[in-house]
């Protein structure tokens, strides 16, 4: 019994490690989208599932907080502090390179990386307040609002409202999930094979259709209202966006299930990285943005040789992930939460 519990814990940590690596890689790919269609393909593939699955795992691992209120105030305030701190970190990194203006900084609007922390704080508070509602009905409402909220033009970067609606169903689903449900499929060779084939089929479909599918990337990322996507997908497609969101939900769930089935349950290096993903999320852009902005200047001065930095930059994503999993960053995270322990 003890071994079984250890396997389940290791599995979730392994999943978190993979997802944070995809977060870092996805942000690296974002800076290289003009390089090739292959970059856009893998970028779109990552965004089809990595944040939905990350939100699902967040709900799964924070279920005690939303059910009993355990450390609720500490975590809500902590994630809000970290979210706004990350806003200022990104601002300070960008300013010296001239890629940001103070007048464009809006405290209450967020569509960049801090959104996850800000939205997570709101999810914890909201889910705790709704903890006595029937789970099935609550999930139905969450998916319904996730599909329909985008039709409101007011939904968008303000308070990260679009992503709040889009990703809440996955967080909520995680709070209702039994951690043992994925174990049987994960241990059967047939399910592992089917999962691998399915993921390969999705990736192949994206590779062969990326030019027609890529205009929908912002719909998948969930940061904007449907009407604001008109110039990218066409005015005639806006009315269908709620249906497209539903399709994305279904595909995200299938891909996420396939990924979880393939995630190993054994303890390994990924398990260690997955125990503390917050510092990696907080600080990885401190490494990436200066390289990107310096690289852009380099390729302007020394074309085409200056373009070679892009390949090294992309390959550096695993290294950045590994560096930020160093114990010093874990101690920093632990120190931060200790400051809030009396709340």
What does the alpha-carbon distance between residue 130 and residue 70 come to, in Å, rounded to a whole number?
15
Domains: count for the chain:
1
With a pLDDT cut of 90, the percent of the chain lying above it is: 71
Confidence of residue 300 (pLDDT cuts 50, 70, 90): low
- pLDDT for 106 equals 77
DSSP for 217-283 reads HHHHHT-S-SGGGHHHH-HHHHTTHHHHHHHHHHHHHHHHHHHHHHS--S--HHHHHHT--HHHHHH
310, pLDDT greater than 80: no
103, pLDDT greater than 80: no
**Higher-scoring residue by pLDDT: 266, 182:** 266
Do 168 and 142 meet the contact criterion of CB atoms below 8 Å apart? yes
Q: Which domain holds residue 194?
A: 2-339
What would the mean pLDDT of 289-317 be, rounded to a whole number? 71
- pLDDT for 3 equals 39
- pLDDT for 158 equals 86
Distances (CA, A) of 20 to 2, 11, 233: 27, 14, 29
Instruction: Give pLDDT tens digits for 214-247.
Output: 999 999 999 999 999 999 999 999 999 999 999 9
Q: List alpha helices for the chain, DSSP H.
A: 2-30, 37-61, 63-68, 72-94, 115-129, 135-148, 161-176, 183-186, 189-213, 217-221, 230-233, 235-238, 241-262, 269-274, 278-301, 309-315, 317-323, 327-339
Confidence of residue 5 (pLDDT cuts 50, 70, 90): very low
Dmax (CA) for the chain in angstroms is 62
Global confidence as pTM: 0.92
6, pLDDT greater than 70: no
307, pLDDT greater than 70: no
């Amino acid at each position: 019994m003890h071994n079984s519990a250890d396997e389940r814990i290791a599995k979730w940590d392994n999943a978190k490690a993979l997802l944070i690596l995809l977060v870092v890689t996805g942000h690296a790919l974002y800076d290289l989208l003009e390089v090739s269609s292959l970059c856009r393909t893998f970028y779109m593939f990552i965004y089809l599932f990595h944040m939905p699955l990350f939100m699902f795992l967040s709900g799964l691992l924070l279920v005690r907080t939303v059910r009993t209120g355990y450390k609720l105030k500490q975590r809500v305030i902590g994630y809000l502090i970290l979210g706004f701190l990350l806003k200022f970190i990104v601002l300070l990194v960008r300013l010296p390179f001239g890629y940001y203006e103070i007048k464009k900084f809006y405290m209450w609007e967020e569509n960049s990386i801090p959104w996850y922390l800000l939205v997570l704080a709101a999810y914890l508070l909201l889910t705790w307040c709704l903890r006595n509602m029937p789970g099935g009905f609550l999930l139905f409402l969450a998916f319904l609002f996730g599909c329909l909220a985008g039709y409101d033009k007011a939904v968008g970067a303000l308070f990260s409202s679009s992503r709040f609606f889009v990703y809440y169903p996955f967080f909520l689903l995680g709070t209702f999930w039994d951690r043992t449900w994925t174990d049987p499929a994960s241990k059967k060779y047939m399910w592992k094979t089917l999962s691998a084939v399915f993921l390969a089929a999705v990736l192949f479909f994206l590779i062969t259709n990326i030019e027609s599918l890529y205009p929908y990337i912002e719909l998948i990322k969930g940061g904007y209202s449907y009407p604001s996507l008109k110039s990218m997908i066409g005015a005639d497609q806006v009315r269908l966006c709620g249906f497209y969101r539903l399709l994305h939900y279904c595909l995200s769930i299938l891909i996420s299930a396939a990924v979880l089935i393939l995630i190993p349950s054994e303890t390994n290096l990924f398990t260690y990285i997955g125990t503390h993903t917050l510092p990696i999320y907080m600080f990885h852009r401190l490494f990436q943005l200066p390289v990107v902005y310096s690289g852009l200047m380099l390729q302007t001065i020394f074309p085409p040789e200056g373009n070679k930095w892009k390949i090294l930059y992309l390959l550096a994503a695993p290294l950045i992930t590994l560096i930020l999993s160093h114990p010093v960053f874990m101690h920093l995270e632990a120190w931060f939460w200790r400051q809030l322990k009396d709340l």
